[in-house]
């Protein structure tokens, strides 16, 4: 009963106080505020200072890298797997000394310089690629060597019943289950490394128009990428001829050398008259990004490419960058993926076990006429995301890039993708 009486008095007093405050003049309110402020400051000064300070919580705290990140790794002395045992079979009738063993460790002074052209290097017999092949041995293999034997991955089975007029891309559902940011590595079905579909003619024309209008924004190469570009082109054409023999073939003549016959475009390409990336531009509607190993630090750098379907970036904006620099804009890349990407790129597993990395991207439409102007929008996806193994003539690596990621023989990690369904 007494507590209820006190509650009523407290409520009446509070109401009278509010009414009194509202009836005060401005000068009286100002005086009251000044007295209360001075009393508050005196009270706060009398308080004892705590022994430990707790900083105020930020409304938008900056993201800091976790303290449990793996320690930095020195990749200079970590090399891709070697397959020198396949060299004697691949070169067949060439008159060279038997394949001999080289030391387990290749010093950097024995490796081909990062920006050197393999065709003009001095001392080719004692200059090696990170795949432990001397430049003399690579030259002896000639053009369109047996990459299937070198890599341990056979050529695809012929697809005689394939009909280009009705061919559609295979279904690809990367977000069918819960999404987690990983490298997304899976086993590659080598028959489906490079695929054709009924938009082949349209895509070839579109890509050539993009290059005509944008130049080095979609196709460019730096010194030191010559051998990598050559191998990528030769492997792609060999694959086309083996998989789709009803449409493609290779011939060789004394005057023109190797000639690629395209039965869909009804034309021929003299290989020696074009840079390898231009041969791909004319015949293969895929994107290729060539990554070369730098012997000074063991990391891979983007040294050449043809990219007509990249989202928000171009060849010109990324050329020459290290793998982690290329992926720098990706959220959480450093914390979650950088270490795994670099680690897998250096000593990639046995070449005979090719893998693919399936990736997705968003785009408002088909590839833009300006390759640098793409912006996020409607989702598009592709099944074409693959990774061929390292073939032993250079410094192959894995690459989790905007398109299908592929391993090639010598010094290349190549990402490949289709402009019809951008993959990132």
* Separation between Cα atoms, residue 424 and residue 422, nearest integer Å: 7
SS3 label, residue 322: strand
Please give the structure tokens belonging to residue 334: 């450093």
What does the pLDDT read at residue 363?
Answer: 59
What does the pLDDT read at residue 209?
Answer: 95
Residue 288 bridge partners (DSSP): 306, 416
The low-confidence residues of the chain, meaning pLDDT below 70, are 1-3, 35, 37-71, 92-108, 172-184, 344-352, 358-424
What DSSP string runs through 244-264? Answer: -TTTEEEEEETTTEEEEEETT
* Separation between Cα atoms, residue 322 and residue 18, nearest integer Å: 69
Please give the structure tokens belonging to residue 84: 């020198």
What does the pLDDT read at residue 413?
Answer: 47
- C-alpha 334: how far from its chain's center? 14
pLDDT above 90 coverage of the chain, percent: 34
Give per-residue pLDDT as tens, 314-342. 999 999 999 889 888 877 778 877 877 77
Sign of CA dihedral 369, 375, 380, 381: positive
Instruction: Give the CA distances from residue 274 to residues 230, 394, 408, in Å, rounded to whole numbers and listed in that order.
Output: 11, 22, 20
Please give the structure tokens belonging to residue 53: 């300070």
pTM of the model: 0.71
SS3 label, residue 406: strand
* Separation between Cα atoms, residue 345 and residue 74, nearest integer Å: 13
What does the pLDDT read at residue 402?
Answer: 32
Query: What's the full length of the chain, in residues?
Result: 424
CB 266 within 8 A of CB 247: no
């Amino acid at each position: 009963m007494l507590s209820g009486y006190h509650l009523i008095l407290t409520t009446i007093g509070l109401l009278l106080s509010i009414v009194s405050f509202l009836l005060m003049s401005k000068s009286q309110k100002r005086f009251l505020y000044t007295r209360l402020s001075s009393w508050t400051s005196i009270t706060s000064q009398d308080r004892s200072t705590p022994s430990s300070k707790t900083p105020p919580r930020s409304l938008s705290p900056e993201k800091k890298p976790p303290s449990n990140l793996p320690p930095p790794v020195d990749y200079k002395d970590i090399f891709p797997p070697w397959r020198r045992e396949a060299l004697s079979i691949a070169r067949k009738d060439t008159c060279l000394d038997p394949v001999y063993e080289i030391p387990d460790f290749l010093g950097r002074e024995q490796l081909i310089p990062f920006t050197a052209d393999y065709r003009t290097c001095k001392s080719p017999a004692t200059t090696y690629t990170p795949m432990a092949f001397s430049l003399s041995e690579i030259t002896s293999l000639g053009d369109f060597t047996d990459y299937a034997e070198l890599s341990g991955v056979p050529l695809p089975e012929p697809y005689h019943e394939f009909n280009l007029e009705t061919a559609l891309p295979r279904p690809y559902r990367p977000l069918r289950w819960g999404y987690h940011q990983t490298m997304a590595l899976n086993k590659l079905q080598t028959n489906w490394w490079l695929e054709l579909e009924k938009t082949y003619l349209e895509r070839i024309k579109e890509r050539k128009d993009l290059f005509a209008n944008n130049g080095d924004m979609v196709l460019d190469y730096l010194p030191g990428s010559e051998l990598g570009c050559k191998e990528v082109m030769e492997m792609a054409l060999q694959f086309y001829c083996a998989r789709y023999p009803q449409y493609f073939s290779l011939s060789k003549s004394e005057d023109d050398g190797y000639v690629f016959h395209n039965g869909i475009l009804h034309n021929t390409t003299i290989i020696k008259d074009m840079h390898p990336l231009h041969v791909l531009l004319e015949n293969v509607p895929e994107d290729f990004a060539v990554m070369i190993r730098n012997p000074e630090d063991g990391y891979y750098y983007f040294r050449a490419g043809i990219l007509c379907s990249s989202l928000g970036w171009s060849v010109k904006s990324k050329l020459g960058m290290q793998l982690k620099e290329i992926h720098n804009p990706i959220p959480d890349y450093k914390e979650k993926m950088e270490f795994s990407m670099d680690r897998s790129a250096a000593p990639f597993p046995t070449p005979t076990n090719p893998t693919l990395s399936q990736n997705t991207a968003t785009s408002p439409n088909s590839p833009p006429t300006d390759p640098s102007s793409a912006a996020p929008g409607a989702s598009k996806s592709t099944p074409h995301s693959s990774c061929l193994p390292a073939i032993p003539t250079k410094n192959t690596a894995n690459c989790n890039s905007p398109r299908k990621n592929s391993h090639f023989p010598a010094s290349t990690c190549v990402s490949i993708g289709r402009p019809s369904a951008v993959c990132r």
